[in-house]
Amino acid sequence: MKDLISKIVSLAKRRGFIFPSSEIYGGFESSYDFGPLGVEMKRNLKQLWWSEMTKNHENIVGLDAAILMNPKVWQASGHLTAGFADELVECKLCHKRFKRDEIKDNRCPECEGELTKPRKFNLMMKTFVGPVESEAAQTYLRAETCQGIYMCFENVLKSMRFKIPFGIAQIGKAFRNEINPKNFIFRTREFEQMEMQWFCHPKETDRWFEFWKKARMKWYENLGIEKKNLRAKEIPDGERAHYAKRQVDIEYRFPFGWGELEGIHNRGDWDLSNHSKHSGKDLRYFDEETKEKYFPHIIETSVGVERSLFVFLVNGFQEIKGGRTKTTKSAKEVEILLKLDKKIAPIKVTVFPLVRNKPGLVKKAKEIYQLLKPHFVCQYDEIGSIGRRYRRADEIGIIVTITCDFQTMEDNTVTLRDRDSMKQIRVEIIKLREIIKKILGGEEFLKLGKLVK
Question: Candidates 92-100, 114-122, 304-312, 316-324 — which segment interacts with ligand GAP by CB under 6 A?
Answer: 304-312
CB of 17 to ligand GAP, least distance (A): 16
Give CA–CA dist 200/285, Å, rounded.
10
Question: Candidates 207-215, 259-267, 274-282, 402-410 — which segment interacts with ligand GAP by CB under 6 A?
Answer: 259-267
**Residue 146 lies near ligand GAP (rule: CB under 6 A):** yes
Give CA–CA dist 312/317, Å, rounded.
8
Torsion of CA 141, 144, 150, 151, to 10 degrees: 10
CB of 175 to ligand GAP, least distance (A): 9
**Residue nearer to ligand GAP on the CB measure, 156 or 371:** 156
Give CA–CA dist 367/193, Å, rounded.
40
**Residue 197 lies near ligand GAP (rule: CB under 6 A):** no
Binding track over 31-70 against ligand GAP, x by CB under 6 A: ----------------------------------------
CB of 216 to ligand GAP, least distance (A): 11
Question: Candidates 212-220, 257-265, 326-334, 350-358 — which segment interacts with ligand GAP by CB under 6 A?
Answer: 257-265
CA angle 13, 16, 22 (to 5 degrees): 60
Total chain residues near ligand GAP (CB under 6 A): 19
**Residue 204 lies near ligand GAP (rule: CB under 6 A):** no
User: Among residues 187, 347, 335, 211, which one has the least CA distance to residue 266?
Assistant: 211
**CA 404 and chain centroid, separation:** 36
Torsion of CA 276, 191, 313, 255, to 10 degrees: -90
CB of 202 to ligand GAP, least distance (A): 20
Residue 2's identity, in one-letter code, is: K
**Residue nearer to ligand GAP on the CB measure, 295 or 445:** 295
Q: Cis ω on the peptide bond leading into residue 353 (within 30° of 0)?
A: no
Give CA–CA dist 392/369, Å, rounded.
17
**Residue 144 lies near ligand GAP (rule: CB under 6 A):** yes
**Residue 260 lies near ligand GAP (rule: CB under 6 A):** yes
Give CA–CA dist 321/367, Å, rounded.
36
Q: Interface with ligand GAP by CB under 6 A: which residues?
A: 144, 146, 176, 178, 187-188, 191, 193, 195, 260-263, 300, 302-304, 306-307
